[in-house]
Structure 1
């Protein structure tokens, strides 16, 4: 397994858990922060993953909806 694959696997695990929270009606603010941190770390290591970028974007969009609704 490459380092890039490891980043993607960890990101997928975090993304799946965040989706469970959101489907349950709860925000996943911490997951959003972690995913963006992973993406930033990947960039620092010279990796660019469309999968991880998509995970970040999807969770941010869902969390933005919750923020707009005033859910803390």
Structure 2
């Protein structure tokens, strides 16, 4: 497994757990922060992953809905 694949695998695990929280009616704000941090580290190491960017964007959209509803 390459380093980039490892990043993508970890990101997918975090994203899947965050989705479980959101489906259960709970926000996943910490997961959003972690995914953004992973993406930032990937960029610093010279990796670009459309998958990771998609996970970050998707989770942010779902969390934004929770924020708009005032759920903390």
The alignment's TM-score, normalised by the length of structure 2, stands at: 1.00
> In the alignment, is residue 20 of structure 1 matched against residue 12 of structure 2?
no
- Structure 1: state its 5+ residue gaps: none
- The aligned runs of 1:15-54 (5 Å cut-off) are 15-54=15-54
The superposition leaves residues 2-61 of structure 1 with CA deviations (integer Å, 9 ceiling, x where unpaired) of 000000000000000000000000000000000000000000000000000000000000
Gaps in structure 2 of 5+ consecutive residues? none
Moved over 4 A (4+): none
Paired residues, number: 72
Could you say what the CA RMSD is over the residues aligned between the two structures, in angstroms?
0.2
Residue 70 of structure 2 is aligned to residue 70 of structure 1: yes
